[in-house]
Amino acid sequence: METRAQIVSRLSNELRAINKDEAYNRRTLLAMLEAKAIFLLAQRLGDRRLYRESAIFSTLKCFELEKVDIISCPFVEFRTCKTLMKSKLKLPELIYSNYGAGIINVTSIDNGTVFNQISFRDYTARKRRKYSHIEEPVYIEMAGYIYIPDHETYAIDLQPLTLRVEELADKSTCSTEDCCKSYWEYPFLNSDKLKELVFKETLQEAIGTFRSIPVDENPNLDSNIKSKTTV
């Protein structure tokens, strides 16, 4: 599986083959790759194609929740709940579509209960209907936090769609992952097919971007000498 460092190095090498005298900042290249990945992931999430590529979703186990005081809860719609649970920590930055947050397979840690995603708007609308009841276990994602009404559960397992995979171990209370791993050692994407599409489109964008920069008439000079000769 290609790491962040490897895909950035590959992109840099492709660009140097076009302009060997240009130095490419690897954080800039990674930001370009991630921006393209977010766009394509959100697009596929929106048309439901991404669910066939389950490997693209990360796994977050033992994600802790705590009970919220319903009386002081800022959301009036939750005040009629028997109980309200909220995740202690914020999820890593998620990919979103028109259907909401990219999250699948939210379950209790013993897999005995499956929670279905519902938007806060739909939840509110159903609560306001006189004879409507929400009997199935549901969860609501708001601002990166998980809310579970009417089910007292203190930990869940879930699969979020995120590029911030380095944060997952810190969000889990049962993770055994080596947290000393370098930021650049984490995988870029868990889907080879989508990763190559991201790489190809980012490369084309980068070529267009760097070609629009004025050509250096003194390509063999270092950056300090270059700046002096252009004054």
Summarize pLDDT for 85-132 with one digit per residue, the tens. Answer: 999 999 999 999 988 899 999 999 999 999 999 998 888 887 777 555
In a domain, 223, yes or no: no
Quote the pLDDT of residue 48. Answer: 76
Identify whether residues 197 and 145 lie together within a single domain: no
In a domain, 141, yes or no: yes
* pLDDT value at 134 more than 80: no
* pLDDT value at 226 more than 50: no
**C-beta of residue 105 within 8 angstroms of C-beta of residue 157:** yes
**C-beta of residue 104 within 8 angstroms of C-beta of residue 57:** yes
Identify whether residues 89 and 126 lie together within a single domain: yes
Give the C-alpha separation, 152 to 154, whole Å: 7
* pLDDT value at 27 more than 90: yes
pTM: 0.82
95: nearest Cα among 60, 21, 44, 33: 44
Give the C-alpha separation, 167 to 111, whole Å: 23
Identify whether residues 33 and 20 lie together within a single domain: yes
More confident residue, 213 or 145: 145
Identify whether residues 76 and 113 lie together within a single domain: yes
Residue type, 14: E
Count up the domains in the chain and report the number: 2
Identify whether residues 26 and 98 lie together within a single domain: no
More confident residue, 127 or 168: 168
Quote the pLDDT of residue 89. Answer: 97
Number of Cβ atoms within 10 Å of the Cβ of 149: 24
Residue type, 214: P
Identify whether residues 35 and 114 lie together within a single domain: no
* pLDDT value at 133 more than 80: no
Give the C-alpha separation, 126 to 80, whole Å: 13
Q: What is the domain extent for residue 87?
A: 58-171
Mean pLDDT calculated for residue range 134-150: 90
Give the C-alpha separation, 157 to 92, whole Å: 14
Identify whether residues 77 and 166 lie together within a single domain: yes
In a domain, 183, yes or no: no
Which letter does DSSP use for residue 108 in this model?
A: E
Give exposure, 87-101, as e/b (b: 16+ Cβ within 10 Å).
Answer: bebebbebbbbeebb
* pLDDT value at 71 more than 90: no
More confident residue, 2 or 1: 2
* Paired strand residues for 149: 84
* pLDDT value at 135 more than 50: yes
* Paired strand residues for 140: 147
Give the C-alpha separation, 159 to 111, whole Å: 13
pLDDT in tens, 31-66: 999 999 999 999 988 887 776 777 899 999 999 999
**C-beta of residue 188 within 8 angstroms of C-beta of residue 195:** yes
Angle at 36 between CA 33 and CA 38, to 5 degrees: 105
In a domain, 130, yes or no: yes
